[in-house]
Structure 1
C-alpha cells in the first residue's frame, strides 16, 4: 500500500531487476576507497563488500512508499542489526535509461567522500 501523502501521479518500481548492477556499482566505488585511490582517505585493510539482501530491500520499499524523503528508523533485520542507508531523490530523466539514472544517483552518493577524510 502507498501512503496518502504520495502524489496521485507518483510511480514506484522495483529495483530487483537492477540488483546486480547496483551491487557492482557500489562495490566499484568501495574498491576505489579500500584501495586507497580516493584523495584524503587511507586504504582499508578489512572493508567488507556490498551484497544484496532481499529483507533489506523489502524494508527500503516500505520507506519509499511513505513518500517522505529521509532515513527511516526501521531498517535492521535479524541478519543485519546495524544496517545503513543510501537515499536519493531525483526527477527521473525519461531520456536516459534506468541504468544511467541509477548510476547517476550512486555516483552522487559516492561523491560525498569529498566532504570527509579518513
Structure 2
C-alpha cells in the first residue's frame, strides 16, 4: 500500500515540476519582453533628443540666416541710395522702378550705322 501512494506522489511532483518549468518559461519570455520594451524606450528617448537637438540647431541657423539677409538688404539699400522699405506702404512692382526699353527705331538712322 505504501508503493501506490509514493508513485502517485511522484507523478504529482512531476506534474508540479512541469508546471513550474512552464511558469519559468513564461516568466523568461515576459522578462525578455520587458527588456526589449526598455531598450526601445531608451532608443526612442535618444532619437527624440537627437531630433530636438537637430531642430534647435536648424532654428538657430535659420535665425542667423535671416539676420544676415536683413543686413545684406540694408547694405544694398545704402549702396543704392535707397531707404529701407516702409512697412506701412505696399511693395511696388519691380518693373515700376525702371524706364521702359528704348527701341533702336527711336534712335534714328545713326543706330543702324554703328551696328
TM range (shorter): under 0.3
Q: TM-score, normalised by structure 2?
A: 0.19
Higher relative contact order (CA closer than 8 Å, sequence separation 6+): 1
Q: TM-score, normalised by structure 1?
A: 0.18
